[in-house]
């Protein structure tokens, strides 16, 4: 009998995705099996596979949902900062780093995409494309902020600020630098004119 095409957009699919998202973030991708996800979501393994097709596809859906949630939250907060007078330029870049720190404080296991890459990177896993897209998204955010500010070299300086952001995320999560985001903001200010 042919298998149905995956359709996660059902109440059961949403419940599986919400449960898997929480478990993958808290315990890691390899540390969570489909039996546990199905049990905690209150569905059968058949339902899980009918909705997503495979655990790998479920991981990719988790990462996609996580990116969508992060991007919406970040964009909303950044727009609110802009409306409050943090216009284009240094202050908008600094605001982006402050917003990232808020997210990091609330997500104590660190960046879900770095965590996922540690487990699935270097493989043909479909989640790798989502990890890469998320990282490219933030790189483009910083470049666009600099373009909007009329910076003479938004590509190179945006890449430098993106590295400050990524480094701050990791140093903050590991506790290597208690004020990692403060250090990143100071470095960003040093890179940018007035």
Confidence of residue 82 (pLDDT cuts 50, 70, 90): confident
- 46-61: pLDDT as tens digits: 999 999 999 999 999 9
The fraction of the chain above a pLDDT of 90, given in percent, is 84
User: What is the rounded CA–CA span in Å between residue 121 and residue 127?
Assistant: 9
5: left (phi over 0), alpha (psi -120 to 50) or beta: beta
- Looking at residue 177, the DSSP 8-state letter turns out to be S
pLDDT(83) > 80: no
Count other C-beta atoms under 10 Å from residue 138's C-beta: 22
Nearest to 60 by CA among 141, 123, 105: 123
- Mean pLDDT estimate for the chain: 91
Domains of the chain, start order: 1-53 (1.10.10.60), 63-191 (1.10.357.10)
Nearest to 58 by CA among 73, 71, 70, 45: 45
- Looking at residue 124, the DSSP 8-state letter turns out to be -
Rounded to two decimals, what is the model's pTM? Answer: 0.91
Instruction: Say if residues 54 and 96 touch (Cβ distance below 8 Å).
Output: no
Instruction: Say if residues 87 and 49 touch (Cβ distance below 8 Å).
Output: no
């Amino acid at each position: 009998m042919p298998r149905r095409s995956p359709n996660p957009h059902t109440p059961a699919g949403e419940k599986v995705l919400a449960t898997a998202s929480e478990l993958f973030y808290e315990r890691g991708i390899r540390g969570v099996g489909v039996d546990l996800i199905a049990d905690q979501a209150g569905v059968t393994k058949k339902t899980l596979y009918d909705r997503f097709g495979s655990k790998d596809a479920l991981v990719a859906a988790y990462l996609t949902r996580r990116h969508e949630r992060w991007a919406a939250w970040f964009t909303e907060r950044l727009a609110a900062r802009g409306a409050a007078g943090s216009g284009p330029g240094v202050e908008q870049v600094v605001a982006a780093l402050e917003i990232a720190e808020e997210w990091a404080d609330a997500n104590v296991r660190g960046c879900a995409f770095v965590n996922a890459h540690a487990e699935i990177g270097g493989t043909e896993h479909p989640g790798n494309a989502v990890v890469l897209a998320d990282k490219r998204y933030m790189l483009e955010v910083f470049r666009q902020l600099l373009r909007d500010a009329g910076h003479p070299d938004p590509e190179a300086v945006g890449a430098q600020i993106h590295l400050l952001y990524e480094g701050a995320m990791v140093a903050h999560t590991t506790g290597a630098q208690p004020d990692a985001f403060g250090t990143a903001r100071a470095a960003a200010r040093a890179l940018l004119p007035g």
